[in-house]
Amino acid sequence: MDDPWSSSRDRGMGALQSPPPLGGPLFLEEKRENRANDLGTLLGGFAHEIRNPLSTIGLNLKLLAEEWKEPANPKEERAARRIKLIQGEVTRLQHLLDEFLRIARPPSLQRAPRDLNGVLKEIADFVEPELRRRNIRLKIYPDSSLPLVPVDAARLRQAILNLVLNAQAALEGKEEGEREILLSSRLQGDRAVLYVMDNGPGMTKETLKRCWKPWFSTRPDGSGLGLSIARRIVRDHGGTLEAQSEPGKGTQFILTLPLEIREQGAGKESSS
């Protein structure tokens, strides 16, 4: 098996870096997030109030679409097209609200000991057909020494999948050379470290600074919530999620998870 560290250097993605230490500025940032919890709860309730009538609108549009399924004249054809257009916008808004609610009111963790290499393999099996269709090569380098880690597997898969989809979108902008995504794991002290790397065009310093902010996206069709949701999930597990990137050198996401549930994390989980 190829060495992922040398492979990443050969592909121009730079060597894998050590994860940032737990503590320091990250804890200050978490305090700021805690002060925003009340606002998040308020906005979550607001989103719920919007989603209910939006669902009613969607249902009525579906009924209208069925009534106008076979238009008899050009006027009815135009009306049917407009109904279909509005249906698409309602669906888009519903998806945005669902993503927003995942941030404002995340569900409590359902932890169980899991094989993180198995989680990476499940994600790879899911995305590989679409990546192959887009001429993107996916490689996995698991660390067999990783023990079972207490995680909410469903939510962790969502976080990692968001990172892979972000890498996929970044590689769409690469016009020359091979396009690759690397998934790897590593045991480092009392933490499990997962890496998601791509050899795409990379991010500028400004984009790297803003990429975690909700609603920020460099893509016209991007919701700007994928990375924000991923970081929220990882932090709920008591871990960290950071990014390293340079223009022309690809992007590397570093996800760390504690091997054991910390008292602070357990307290947060039980109080949610």
- The whole-number average pLDDT for the span 2-24 is 48
pLDDT of residue 5: 40
What was the pLDDT predicted at 215? 67
Pick the CATH number of 4-35+109-271 from 3.40.50.720, 3.30.460.10, 3.30.565.10, 3.10.20.310: 3.30.565.10
Q: Which residue has the higher pLDDT, 144 or 20?
A: 144
Q: Which amino acid is at 151?
A: V
pLDDT of residue 265: 40
Does the model's pTM come out above 0.75?
no
Question: Rounded distance, CA 107 to CA 125, Å?
Answer: 26
Question: pLDDT class for 268, splitting at 50, 70, 90?
Answer: very low
- The closest of 214, 216, 196 to 206, measured between CA atoms, is 216
Measure the CA–CA gap between 111 and 113, rounded to whole angstroms: 7
Least-confidence region, from 29-33, 55-59, 148-152: 29-33
Q: For the chain, what is the mean pLDDT?
A: 79
Q: In 10 A of CB 153, how many CB atoms?
A: 18
Residues with Cβ within 8 Å of 134's Cβ and at least 6 positions away in sequence, in order, are 168, 171, 172, 179
Checking phi first, is residue 105 left (phi over 0); if not, alpha (psi -120 to 50) or beta?
beta
Higher pLDDT pick, 41 / 159 = 159
Q: Domain segments of the chain: what residues?
A: 4-35+109-271, 37-104
Written as one string, the DSSP assignment of 162-212 is HHHHHHHHHHTT--SS--EEEEEEEEETTEEEEEEEE-SS---HHHHHHTT
- Reduced to 3 states (helix: H, G, I; strand: E, B; else coil), residue 63 is helix
Quick check: 160 and 138 in contact, CB under 8 A?
Answer: no
The number of residues making up the chain comes to 272
Confidence at residue 52, expressed as pLDDT on a 0 to 100 scale: 72
Residue 137 burial by CB count (10 A; 0-12/13-18/19+): exposed, middle or buried? middle
Q: Identify which has the larger pLDDT, 255 or 208.
A: 255
69 CB-side CA count, 13 A:
4
Mean pLDDT of 159-179: 86
Residue 18 has pLDDT above 90, yes or no: no
